[in-house]
Amino acid sequence: MADQCTDTLRCNPNDLRQAMSIHTRKITDSCRDKDCIEDLPVYLTAGSQRMLESSASTRVRCAELLSTYIDVEPVTFDRNHYCIDITFYYRVLADTIVGANRPATLCGLAVFTKRVVLCGEESCAHIYRSDLRTCTAEAITRNLANRPTAVVEALDPMVLSSRIREACECGGRDCPVQLPDWVKAMFDEDLVLQNDRRRLYVTLGQFSIVRLERDAQLIVPVMDYSIPTKECCDSAGCAEDPCELFSRIPFPAAQFTPRGCDCKTQVRCPQENNCCNK
């Protein structure tokens, strides 16, 4: 088989075999964001909340992005734009000291919601796939069949600060959050969503990229089919012929070249510690 061209900009047009139709996703619009999420309430598990009520000091150790929920709705005053509502679910781990005991680990959930408006272009086509059954709950409906797909890329957040506040200091501004069952199932205990005397708050830094995609059919030039060049092996350290390995080692001609032993610049042999003066 002919060698595959690694740089398409330098390929000879005469090497193009044919044109091929492919199906891919076109990015209609995208954006990046750096959110500083201040005083995000952490809903601790029942056991962690009991320790927090009597803790002397607490420090947030880390936060992990568990999952996101993405909802795409068209903007009523602009047919080409869509609102993307993104809900981030974080698992927060903290260290707390209760009495004279060793530090214990607190575990809880933090939720952050943001909205992004991007151009998704128009499409009259309704797209259905054979791997989705129309009678199931996860099947795509006719109302959503011509909407673009939202993709969110996000890193684990950075913990910037944390603090504990008494319930009376919150002023009732923290409404109980509604959590889906699949989020609750990620924790071993029930989460305390209300009626707590003390609550942990955390400030996070979140980096994210959001984009809208639409299915598209493109015609691309074909130079050759992509065939893997690496051979498969059944173990991490595949056995190799030692003679074959030795044959690929360059001959060390420099080590056979006689060198004078100058007192100012003494050259030492690789195998000996004394000067090469023989």
What's the CA gap between 21 and 262, in Å, rounded?
Answer: 70
Question: According to the model, what pLDDT value does residue 18 have?
Answer: 75
The contacts of residue 209 (CB under 8 Å, 6+ apart) are 30, 31, 32, 33, 152, 153, 154
pLDDT band at 273 (very low <50, low <70, confident <90, very high): very low
- Of 6-15, 184-193, 220-229, the range with the highest mean pLDDT is 184-193
Spatial CA neighbour of 76 closest among 111, 117, 39, 19: 117
pLDDT value for 113: 95
pLDDT value for 64: 95
pLDDT beyond 80 at 255: no
Distance CA 250, CA 253 (A): 9
How far is residue 141's CA from residue 134's CA, in Å, rounded to a whole number?
Answer: 8
Coil, helix or strand at residue 13: helix
Q: Which residues contact 180 (CB under 8 A, 6 or more apart)?
A: 69
pLDDT > 50? residue 189: yes
User: 132 vs 247, which has greater pLDDT?
Assistant: 247
Q: What is the pLDDT of residue 2?
A: 43
Query: What average pLDDT does the chain have?
Result: 79
Residue 109's pLDDT is what? 96
State percent of the chain over pLDDT 90.
Answer: 38
Assess whether pLDDT exceeds 60 at residue 4: no
Phi, then psi, of 178 in degrees rounded to 5: -95, 120
Residue extents of the structural domains in the chain: 24-219
- Return d(Cα 7, Cα 96) in angstroms, integer: 56
pTM: 0.71
The residue that leads in pLDDT, 181 or 174, is 181
Q: How far apart are CA 71 and CA 212, in angstroms?
A: 12
C-alpha distances (whole Å) from 177 to each of 60, 191, 220, 245 are 21, 11, 49, 63
Give tens-digit pLDDT for 71-125: 999 888 877 899 999 999 999 999 998 877 788 899 999 999 999 999 987 776 6
